[in-house]
């Protein structure tokens, strides 16, 4: 299957782009702090519970037949995926939470724009994913940003996968999920001729 290779390509590209284009005042180098990973769902892995400010989780989305499926004897697949970006915003109780809401929203918005720039129509991402595939059947189109969640969601530390201590559980996070799609892959089907 080619979805794991696609998600791996997305993670690599986010790290490369994020480290080459840090946000002003951003002390979080994506690769050094291991703040990006491919996961089964939107939750960061247990080892990421102490992430600094931001964490991006790349996870599977759609896998459908493409438009050429009816007219082409090969296999035409169209893939989609999600990127969930989380920002740590404080701890419970929600003291002065609303005072800082605008600042936190703006910080998350800036990071989301950075993620979109790194992934949307990025042919380098497809080249990275294709290098992980064997054979000649490759991805042919880069991902397109489809939509994002609005407004952002506020979740507690229990949202993280397997939170292990009360400090983590008491943390609050602002999260947003982005949807990307239209990543085409075409394959020639090998059939015996009778």
DSSP 133-170: S-SS--B-S--EEEEE-SSPEEEEGGGSSS--SHHHHH
Query: For position 121, what pLDDT does the model report?
Result: 94
- Model confidence at 87, pLDDT cuts 50, 70, 90, reads confident
Which pTM value belongs to this model? 0.82
Report which of residues 15 and 169 the model is more confident about: 15
**Helix (H/G/I), strand (E/B), else coil: 56:** strand
Residues 6+ apart with CB under 8 A from 3: 60, 63, 79, 81
Inter-residue contact 85 to 178 (CB < 8 Å):
yes
Distances (CA, A) of 41 to 26, 46, 107, 135, 187: 26, 13, 23, 29, 27
Structure tokens belonging to residue 5: 């290779």
C-alpha dihedral sign at 61, 64, 68, 74: positive
Distance separating alpha carbons of residues 171 and 165, to the nearest angstrom: 11
Q: Is 173 exposed, middle or buried (0-12, 13-18, 19+ CB in 10 A)?
A: buried
Mean pLDDT, rounded, of the chain: 77
Query: For position 68, what pLDDT does the model report?
Result: 66
Which sequence spans correspond to the domains of the chain? 3-187
Write out pLDDT tens, residues 41-58: 888 877 776 666 788 889
Most confident of 9-18, 48-57, 66-75: 9-18
Write out pLDDT tens, residues 27-42: 444 443 457 888 888 8
């Amino acid at each position: 299957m080619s979805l794991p290779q696609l998600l791996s390509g997305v993670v690599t590209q986010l790290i490369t782009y994020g480290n080459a284009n840090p946000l002003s005042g951003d002390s979080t180098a994506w690769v050094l702090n291991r703040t990006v990973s491919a996961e089964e769902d939107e939750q960061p892995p247990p080892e990421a519970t102490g992430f600094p400010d931001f964490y991006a989780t790349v996870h599977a989305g759609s896998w459908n037949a493409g438009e050429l499926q009816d007219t082409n004897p090969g296999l035409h697949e169209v893939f989609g995926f999600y990127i969930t970006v989380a920002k740590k915003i404080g701890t419970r109780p929600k003291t002065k939470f609303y005072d800082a809401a605008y600042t936190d929203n703006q910080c998350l918005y800036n990071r989301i724009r950075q993620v979109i720039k790194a992934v949307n129509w990025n042919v380098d991402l497809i080249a990275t994913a294709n290098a992980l595939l064997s054979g000649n059947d490759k991805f042919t189109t880069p991902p397109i940003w489809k939509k994002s969640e609005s407004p952002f969601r506020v979740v507690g530390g229990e949202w993280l996968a397997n939170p292990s201590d009360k400090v983590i559980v008491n943390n609050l996070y602002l999260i947003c999920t982005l949807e990307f799609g239209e990543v085409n892959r075409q394959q020639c089907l090998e059939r015996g001729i009778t």
